[in-house]
A and B are shown apart, each in its own frame.
Chain A
Amino acid sequence: MNIIKRELKSNLKSLLIWIIALVSITILASWEFEAFRGNTELVDAMESFAALFNALGIQITDLSLPEGFLSLESIYFYIPLAIYAALLGSSIISKEERDKTAEYLFTLPVTRKKVLVSKVIVAVLYNIILNLCVVLGAIVAYIRFSPSDAFYKFILYLSIGLIFIQLVFMSMGMLLASVLKQYKKSGAAILAYVLGSYLLFVLIGFAEKIDFLKYITPFKYFEASDMLKGTIHLEYVIISIAIIISSIMGLFIFYRRRDLYI
């Protein structure tokens, strides 16, 4: 479809920049792994630090293994991917008003629904692509250490967890862009939520007292320590899917009825 093609093209440059940046960081970080590899003294020392690492969402079972180390570095995946998803979601919806192309696009013989469907498809697709490229980058970066199956399992789970988190933030960004009268604020709003979620996530790690707040921070749903263990909590999957579906439904409902100003 022509709209899908257009959206693919206009968001491509940004996607490529993100892919290059994140893959580069992953590969660079993997060089440091040399110091940790096979270093058993480290491992022993690490175990006693378990509490602290729990706080940062990392299960330091074994930093001398690729998967352990990568889980340490995983925060460099979670946050950027969340930011990318949030920004893409909110901007792909609000850009028609921001660039003043709304008057053109929505007076063509096409329903708003069709336009939105195209945008959602492209946004989801690009999030998946970024996710896969980053994961691939990680594999390429660590393959020279001949990692065990546990590593690949971790990568798989990490990828799944990340895509859920991405889609949650993306769909919320889209919803905000369709609901807020001042569409320009939707980017800032969703990013504030991303940032706030991360800060909350770290705080929850320190203080079990506020553990109940974990439901409002998507970073807790699929955190690295769980991914390392290969645990995916069903409740979080359900919550994520619920958020994604209701946000997208909200997007369609609100945007159809939205007054588009010049």
Chain B
Amino acid sequence: MNIYKFELKMLKSSILIWSLAISLSLFMYLAFYPAIAADTSAFDALMENYPKELLAFFGMKPELPMSTLLGYFSLTFGMMQIPIAIQASNYGFHMLSVEEREMTADFLLSKPITRTKILVSKFLASFTSLTIVNLSLWIATLLALILFKGDTVLELRNVYILLSSIVLFQLFFVGVGMLISVSVKKIASVISFSMTLGFGLYIVFGLKSTFSNDLLAIITPYAYFEPAEILISGHYNLLYTLICVFVIVVSFGLTYFLYNKRNIHSL
């Protein structure tokens, strides 16, 4: 597919930067675990004295103290979810609006192709990039966990499950980004939108934890795939996962419908 190849080529540097940045950051964070483990061995006992709300604020569960490898990993993975969200949102907001913003719509949309083909090709290119980032995170995580585990006995099963959540997490942001981009007249600055979506939903998650308000959890993927929860329980929350899939399906469906109907105006 020519559009797919073209779009993928345009994403080349983005793929490189994001995959390196996120996976190296994760690796770096984990590299400090040995230092932490040494300093904070007293954590464990103290964690028991804590009110759940406070721990929740940091995304920590008493069952998974930060002094353990996985506890620390849950914290750092939680932080990595932010740039993952921002990258996915970026793609979502950018992919369809760019043609109108850069005024190349007259060129591309007057070619003998359907709007659907454009949508699918662009999405696949973005998804390829997101998958490469996803893979690099898998590699960085597993490598780091093995290298820096110290004395811990490594049980990777739950880690695999957590890592598998990345793809749904990304698709949520791509989907919502795309839907918003075809619903508004013009997006002048993609980055403002993607930052707002990616970071805004993180703040909602923070509030939800502070409030122990589960209602807020419904709208934020940071809650659907909370690292500590998954690492402890070893499975996804069924309700949240269904909501996430629902949002993804609905946003993709609506995007398809709205993009096909969209009027592309001239200057």
Instruction: Note whether A and B contact each other (Cβ less than 8 A).
Output: yes
- Flag whether B142 is at the interface (Cβ < 8 A): no
- Flag whether B50 is at the interface (Cβ < 8 A): yes
Task: Identify the stretch in A110-118, A202-210, A230-238 within 8 Å (CB) of chain B at 4 or more residues.
Answer: A202-210
A225 to chain B, nearest CB (A): 16
Give A232 to B206 CA distance when docked, in angstroms.
Answer: 28
Whether A52 touches B66, Cβ cut-off 8 Å, given contacts A87-B195, A187-B189, A207-B32, is yes
Which of B36, B42, B79 is the one whose CB lies under 8 Å from A48? Answer: B42
- Flag whether A133 is at the interface (Cβ < 8 A): no
Which of A72, A187, A202 is the one whose CB lies under 8 Å from B191? Answer: A187
Give A247 to B217 CA distance when docked, in angstroms.
Answer: 41
- Flag whether B39 is at the interface (Cβ < 8 A): yes
Question: Is B207 within 8 A of A29, CB to CB?
Answer: yes
Give A220 to B60 CA distance when docked, in angstroms.
Answer: 24
- Flag whether A132 is at the interface (Cβ < 8 A): no
Whether A203 touches B32, Cβ cut-off 8 Å, given contacts A32-B53, A32-B211, A79-B199, is yes
- Closest-by-CB residue of A relative to B192 is A87
Give the one of A63, A91, A196, A206 with max B CB within 10 A.
A206
Whether A52 touches B211, Cβ cut-off 8 Å, given contacts A91-B189, A203-B29, A207-B35, is no
Give the one of A45, A72, A98 with max B CB within 10 A.
A45
- For window 57-90 of B, CB contacts with A under 8 Å fall at 57-58, 66, 79, 82-83, 86
Which of A91, A195, A209 is the one whose CB lies under 8 Å from B35? Answer: A209
- Flag whether A1 is at the interface (Cβ < 8 A): no
Give the residues in chain B near A56, CB-CB below 8 Å. Answer: 58
Which of B32, B42, B206, B211 is the one whose CB lies under 8 Å from A76? Answer: B206
- Flag whether B46 is at the interface (Cβ < 8 A): yes
- Closest-by-CB residue of A relative to B42 is A48
B41 to chain A, nearest CB (A): 11
- Flag whether B112 is at the interface (Cβ < 8 A): no
- Flag whether A42 is at the interface (Cβ < 8 A): yes
Question: Is B46 within 8 A of A76, CB to CB?
Answer: no
Contact-residue bracket for chain B: 35 or more
- For window 145-196 of B, CB contacts with A under 8 Å fall at 188-189, 191-192, 195
Q: How many residue-residue contacts, CB under 8 A, span A and B?
A: 77
Whether A199 touches B40, Cβ cut-off 8 Å, given contacts A49-B46, A207-B35, is no
Question: Is B211 within 8 A of A31, CB to CB?
Answer: yes
Give the residues in chain B near A32, CB-CB below 8 Å. Answer: 53, 210-211
Which of A191, A192, A202, A206 is the one whose CB lies under 8 Å from B36? Answer: A206
- Flag whether B264 is at the interface (Cβ < 8 A): no
Give the residues in chain A near B210, CB-CB below 8 Å. Answer: 29, 32, 73
- Flag whether B25 is at the interface (Cβ < 8 A): yes
Give A138 to B49 CA distance when docked, in angstroms.
Answer: 29
Whether A76 touches B50, Cβ cut-off 8 Å, given contacts A32-B211, A48-B42, A52-B40, is no
Whether A206 touches B191, Cβ cut-off 8 Å, given contacts A29-B210, A31-B211, A35-B53, is no
Give A209 to B211 CA distance when docked, in angstroms.
Answer: 35
Give the one of A31, A35, A42, A52 with max B CB within 10 A.
A52
- Closest-by-CB residue of A relative to B29 is A203
- Flag whether B246 is at the interface (Cβ < 8 A): no
Give the residues in chain B near A29, CB-CB below 8 Å. Answer: 207, 210
Give A98 to B188 CA distance when docked, in angstroms.
Answer: 9
Give A71 to B19 CA distance when docked, in angstroms.
Answer: 33
* Interface flags, A59-80, vs B, CB<8A=1, else 0: 0000100000000110010011
Give the residues in chain B near A177, CB-CB below 8 Å. Answer: none
- Closest-by-CB residue of B relative to A83 is B195
* A interface residues (Cβ-Cβ under 8 A, vs B): 14, 21, 25, 28-29, 31-32, 35, 39, 41-42, 45-46, 48-49, 51-52, 56, 63, 72-73, 76, 79-80, 83, 87, 91, 98-99, 187-188, 191-192, 195-196, 199, 202-203, 206-207, 209
* B interface residues (Cβ-Cβ under 8 A, vs A): 21, 25, 28-29, 32, 35-36, 39-40, 42-43, 46, 49-51, 53-54, 57-58, 66, 79, 82-83, 86, 188-189, 191-192, 195, 199-200, 203, 206-207, 210-211
Supply 11 A–B pairs (Cβ within 8 Å), ascending by A: A25-B207, A39-B51, A42-B54, A45-B49, A49-B43, A52-B40, A87-B191, A199-B25, A203-B28, A203-B32, A207-B35
